[in-house]
């Protein structure tokens, strides 16, 4: 093993690694073995104060830099990420549970995200507004200031990059708080910052759970909050940010519908939905959670997806299986409880449904048939490898089922009829729609939720709306 992971990780504040004010540490474990792999500092609200103070102090210096200088700093960070890829990959796999190849894609994705936003640095233009010959009226886009980045545990590196990169390029400084079950890659990334000549205080990392998270989202010195996580915590973040009228970007949960029309290429639909629900062991907000399948092809769809589910290899991420364990004990219990609930509600387990008889938080890929959309397993985000297959008889019913839910993150349609697929894409209430595929969308494509799935967009140039505020300047040119 190349990584010296079994150590104490400290906070990263103002360019230095420091202990938390109470000098307390907590443990993070490998979800494949349930063994502790490292200890990390538990940040207090005092530590959050220090991090926010450092981020505020350096704001003028960071904002006075030419935009391309900020872009170049991100390019250097992308190079450092690639140079250190082996270590980052291993850390992400041991801490999160992902297969090595998925962590490799995550690390490359982080580097690409940094480069994408680096290239946008000198293109963040305002506009001019026609207002007659005696006035010039134009807008400039200015950074908010200190950006809080609160990250979940399902894709720590990618989600950190998606928020942090546009924030920094736009001239904000950041305080990052990773999730308490996956803190290591953020702390390791902070170490690379020291190598790439980004001023002290521009990027700070505070680790711990809800306490530093809440301290950050309600902090007087924070100017904008980007939160990715569950709906209940999103509500708490929004409430605490309301106290200081701080804008929030919320990327929350999904329970996403994948509609399979009778004319679909069934193999394409099965392959896409299989990847959509089982990749990352189902711990993806954009997952294909509800397959809504026409009754004429329902049995065949179930038969085929069951075969695929049964073909998966499960194992420790470090052995690069198809899928790894769930991330932590509490989540493992939650997923198993949902499987029990589905059985109680009258759905049929076609395959899976059991934990693996070994150490680690492994749950078999599970397919439920006979699911009705008002069952809790169809309405609530399970965030595990559990597919609900729901039948429908006509197009209107498919759309009604798809939209009869409080969430609206992603959705999909499988049909060979392009008119039908595109008009249904317009009818599904969700922020991203995939047609004849799943997880589509380039890096430049905006991503975010309708309804309770969130507020604002990440990715693409639209992400800058969370990090730049518009100032309008109007100039009187009239001679007196
Ligand atoms: P979570 O809400 O429990 O925690 C997210 C983060 O918030 C963690 O860092 C946590 O420590 C912190 N936190 C906890 N309590 C807090 C509080 N009171 N104030 C401020 N911060 C607090 O979510 P999770 O279980 O870590 O992540 C899974 C959820 O994230 C799922 O619902 C998933 O759909 C969602 N998610 C959404 C997207 C998206 O882009 N829409 C992407 C990935 C994950």
The reported pLDDT for the residue numbered 4 is: 61
- 341 C-beta closer than 6 A to ligand 1: no
How many C-beta atoms lie closer than 10 Å to residue 101's C-beta?
14
Cα 452 to middle of ligand 1, angstroms = 14
Q: Which of 75, 92, 115, 285 is catalytic?
A: 285
Cα 432 to middle of ligand 1, angstroms = 20
Cβ atoms of residues 274 and 309 within 8 Å? yes
Atom index in ligand 1 nearest the CA of residue 250 equals: 41
What's the distance, Cα to Cα, between the start and end of the chain in Å? 77
Establish whether 285 is a catalytic residue. yes
Going by alpha carbons, the residue nearest to atom 26 of ligand 1 is 152
Cα 81 to middle of ligand 1, angstroms = 24
Cα 230 to middle of ligand 1, angstroms = 4
Atom index in ligand 1 nearest the CA of residue 454 equals: 41
**Topology classification of domain 8-252+454-471:** Aldehyde Dehydrogenase; Chain A, domain 1 (3.40.605)
Condensed to tens digits (0 to 9), the pLDDT of residues 82-139 reads: 999 999 999 999 999 999 999 999 999 999 999 999 999 999 999 999 999 999 999 9
Q: Which of 29, 75, 251, 364 is catalytic?
A: 251
The reported pLDDT for the residue numbered 162 is: 97
Query: What CATH class does 257-442 carry?
Result: alpha beta
Mean pLDDT by 10 residues, the chain (480 residues): 70 96 96 96 98 98 98 98 97 97 98 98 97 96 98 97 98 98 94 91 98 97 98 97 96 98 98 98 98 98 98 98 98 98 98 97 98 98 98 98 98 98 98 96 93 98 98 94
The reported pLDDT for the residue numbered 191 is: 87
The reported pLDDT for the residue numbered 1 is: 43
User: What are the domain boundaries of the chain?
Assistant: 8-252+454-471, 257-442
Atom index in ligand 1 nearest the CA of residue 253 equals: 34
Helical H runs in 58-155?
A: 59-64, 67-83, 85-96, 100-120
Establish whether 251 is a catalytic residue. yes
Going by alpha carbons, the residue nearest to atom 34 of ligand 1 is 253
Matching CATH topology for 8-252+454-471 and 257-442? no
- Could you list the beta-strand ranges (E) of 333-462: 348-351, 366-369, 386-392, 407-408, 410-414, 432-435, 450-451, 454-455
- 160 C-beta closer than 6 A to ligand 1: no
Q: Give the pTM.
A: 0.96
Q: Output the furthest CA–CA distance in the chain (Å, rounded).
A: 86
- 285 C-beta closer than 6 A to ligand 1: yes
SS3 329: helix
Condensed to tens digits (0 to 9), the pLDDT of residues 383-440 reads: 999 999 999 999 999 999 999 999 999 999 999 999 999 999 999 999 999 999 999 8
b (16+ CB within 10 A) / e for 454-474 = bbbbbbbebbbbbbbbeeeee
The reported pLDDT for the residue numbered 367 is: 98
Going by alpha carbons, the residue nearest to atom 21 of ligand 1 is 213
The reported pLDDT for the residue numbered 7 is: 80
Tell me how far apart the alpha carbons of residues 48 and 51 are, in angstroms, rounded to a whole number.
5
């Amino acid at each position: 093993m190349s990584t010296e992971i079994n150590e104490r990780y400290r906070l990263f504040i103002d360019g230095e690694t420091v202990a938390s004010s109470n000098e307390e540490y907590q443990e993070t474990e490998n979800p494949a073995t349930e063994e502790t792999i490292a200890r990390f500092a538990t940040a207090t609200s005092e530590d959050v104060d220090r991090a926010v103070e450092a981020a505020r102090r350096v704001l003028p210096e960071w904002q006075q830099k030419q935009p391309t200088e900020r872009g170049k700093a991100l390019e250097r960070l992308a190079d450092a990420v690639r140079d250190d890829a082996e270590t980052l990959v291993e850390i992400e796999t041991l801490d999160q549970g992902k297969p090595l190849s998925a962590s490799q894609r995550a690390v490359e994705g982080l580097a690409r995200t940094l480069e994408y936003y680096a290239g946008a640095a000198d293109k963040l233009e305002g506009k001019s507004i026609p207002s007659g010959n005696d006035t010039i009226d134009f807008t400039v886009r200015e950074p908010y200031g200190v950006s809080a980045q609160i990250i979940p545990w399902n894709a720590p590196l990618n989600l950190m990059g998606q928020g942090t990169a546009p924030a920094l390029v736009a001239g904000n400084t950041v305080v990052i708080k990773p999730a308490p079950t996956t803190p290591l890659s953020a702390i390791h990334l902070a170490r690379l910052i020291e190598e790439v000549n980004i001023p002290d205080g521009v990027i700070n990392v505070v680790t711990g759970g809800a306490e530093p998270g809440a301290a950050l989202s309600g902090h007087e010195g924070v100017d904008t909050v980007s939160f990715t996580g569950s709906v209940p915590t999103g509500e708490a973040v929004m409430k605490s940010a309301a106290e200081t009228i701080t804008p929030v970007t919320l990327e929350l949960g999904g329970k996403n519908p994948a509609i399979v029309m009778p004319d679909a290429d069934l193999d394409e639909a099965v392959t896409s939905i299989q990847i959509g629900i089982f990749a990352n062991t189902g711990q993806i907000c954009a997952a294909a959670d509800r397959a809504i399948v026409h009754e004429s092809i329902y049995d065949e769809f179930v038969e085929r997806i069951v075969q695929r589910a049964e073909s998966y290899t499960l194992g420790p991420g470090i052995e690069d299986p198809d899928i790894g364990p769930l991330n932590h004990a509490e989540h493992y219990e939650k997923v198993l409880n949902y499987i029990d609930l589905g059985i109680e509600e009258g759905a049929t387990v076609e395959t899976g449904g059991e934990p693996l008889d070994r150490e680690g938080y492994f749950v078999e890929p599970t397919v439920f048939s006979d699911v009705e959309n008002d069952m809790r397993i169809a309405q609530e985000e399970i965030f595990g490898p559990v597919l609900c297959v729901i039948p429908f008889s006509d197009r209107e019913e498919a759309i009604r089922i798809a939209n009869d839910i409080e969430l609206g993150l992603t959705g999909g349609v499988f049909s060979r009829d392009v008119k039908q697929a595109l008009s249904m894409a317009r009818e599904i209430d969700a922020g991203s729609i995939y047609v004849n595929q799943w997880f589509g969308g380039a890096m430049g494509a905006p991503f975010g939720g309708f309804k309770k799935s969130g507020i604002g967009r990440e990715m693409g140039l639209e992400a800058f709306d969370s990090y730049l505020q518009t100032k309008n300047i109007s100039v009187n040119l009239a001679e007196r």
